[in-house]
Structures are given as structure tokens and as C-alpha cells.
Copies of this chain bind each other. A is one copy, B any other.
Amino acid sequence: MTVSQSTSADRPVATRRRGEALENALLDAAWTELRSVGYAKLTMERVADRANTSRAVIYRRWPSRHELVIAALLHQQPTGGSRIPDTGSLREDVLTIMRRAARRISDIGPATVTGLLNDLMADDASHAIIDQLARGGAEVMNRALARAAARGEAREHVPERVARLPLDLIRHELILTHRAPSSATLEAIVDQIFLPLVKPLL
């Protein structure tokens, strides 16, 4: 009985985690921390504590807070899953894309998104992530535009800058308000700005 150090009451903790299990625990901890206190107040210490481990374990994997958070986001909602909408109407397609973006933002937390954007831009190594994000957006919009053009709903050649416009404006709205844009805002962007710019000339 004296040697019963490994059995139970001594450490109610599960056995030492490793590899993927540990990584998942860390990413989950980061994610819940993100949702509960937000990006600004998220610290390596809190995440480590929440995952019942130590900061060193985190630093072994991610060198900085924003890399950890990016990893947590990707882990939480993998980037796939976004089928391109095809409702038969350009307006609805674009609105769907925008609503999806707005939804994603409010899931993550507006303040988190802006804080993260800021930190990413300050880090040269992370610029890639940003314009990958921008490119992805333009991609989706171009699909919708191509189909609309085939239906005669939009002109053939729409400048990249115009195609990006709806998502860019969502981002801008986010920056200035720290809230995901309302449905009315989305519709205003589409009806007052986007559709007039891509409508066929005659």
C-alpha cells in the first residue's frame, strides 16, 4: 500500500498527454480562452493554465501569441466547408458570401479579428496569411461573377478591385465598429455599391 503513488488519490490528473492529444488540448484551451476573454487579454500563461500545462510546452510549438491563435482558429473551424453558393441570382450569391463572412467574424469575435489583423501585419513573416485571405475572397466572388456574366446579369470584365469590394467593406466596417456588420449594412453595400458597378452597361 505504501507504494501506491501511481494509483489514484495522489494525482487525479490523467496520465501525461503527448503529441496530438496535447496539441488538441492546447488549441482547445486557446480557443475557449479566446471566446471568454478575447484576443487582447489572451496570454500564454492563461492558455497554459487552462490546459493544465506550462508555457514552455506552448512555446515549443508556436513562437508567438498570434501564431498560436491562428492555429487555434484553423483547428476550431477548418477552412473548408465553404461551398460556393449558386442561387441563380447574383444578388443572393453575393449576399450569401457576405453573410457567411459576417457570421464567421461574429463567431470568432470582432475584436479578436481586428487585433489579430493588427498583429499579423506587424509581423513580416505573416503577411502571406493576410493576402491568402484576400485572394480567397476574390476567388469566391469571381466565381459568382462569372456565372452572373453567363446569365447576362453582370458585365464580362470586372476589375479585381471591384470584385473584392464587398468583402473589403465588411472588413472596413469591422475595423471601425468592432461589430459584425448588420444584415441591413450588407444589403446596402450590395445594392448601393456593388451591383451598380457590375451591372451590364446596357
A47-55, A65-73, A174-182 - interface stretch:
A174-182
Instruction: Please name all residues of chain B whose beta carbon is closer than 8 Å to the beta carbon of A196 when the two chains form the complex.
Output: 196-197
Q: Do A188 and B169 have beta carbons less than 8 Å apart?
A: no
Q: Do A168 and B165 have beta carbons less than 8 Å apart?
A: no
> Which 6 pairs, one residue from A and one from B, show the smallest C-beta to C-beta distance?
A172-B172, A121-B178, A159-B192, A118-B118, A168-B172, A114-B118
Q: Do A117 and B175 have beta carbons less than 8 Å apart?
A: yes
- Chain A contact residues, CB within 8 Å of chain B: 40, 111, 114-115, 117-118, 121-122, 130-131, 134, 159, 161-162, 165, 168-169, 171-172, 175-178, 188-189, 192-193, 196-197
Q: Do B178 and A175 have beta carbons less than 8 Å apart?
A: no
Q: Do A193 and B172 have beta carbons less than 8 Å apart?
A: no
Q: Do A176 and B111 have beta carbons less than 8 Å apart?
A: no
Instruction: Please name all residues of chain B whose beta carbon is closer than 8 Å to the beta carbon of A159 when the two chains form the complex.
Output: 188, 192
Identical chains in the assembly: 2
Cα–Cα, bound, A114→B117 (Å) = 10
Q: Do B162 and A122 have beta carbons less than 8 Å apart?
A: no
Instruction: Please name all residues of chain B whose beta carbon is closer than 8 Å to the beta carbon of A121 when the two chains form the complex.
Output: 111, 114, 175-178
Q: Do B188 and A161 have beta carbons less than 8 Å apart?
A: yes
Task: Specify which of B122, B169, B192 is in contact with A40 (CB 8 Å cutoff).
Answer: B122
**Which residue, A111, A192, A196, has most C-beta atoms of chain B within 10 A?**
A192
Cα–Cα, bound, A139→B166 (Å) = 23
A sample of 24 cross-chain residue pairs with beta-carbon separation below 8 angstroms, ordered by A number, consists of A111-B121, A111-B122, A117-B175, A118-B118, A121-B175, A121-B176, A121-B177, A121-B178, A131-B176, A134-B176, A161-B188, A161-B193, A162-B192, A162-B193, A168-B169, A168-B172, A169-B172, A171-B175, A171-B176, A172-B172, A172-B175, A193-B193, A193-B197, A196-B196
Cα–Cα, bound, A145→B40 (Å) = 40
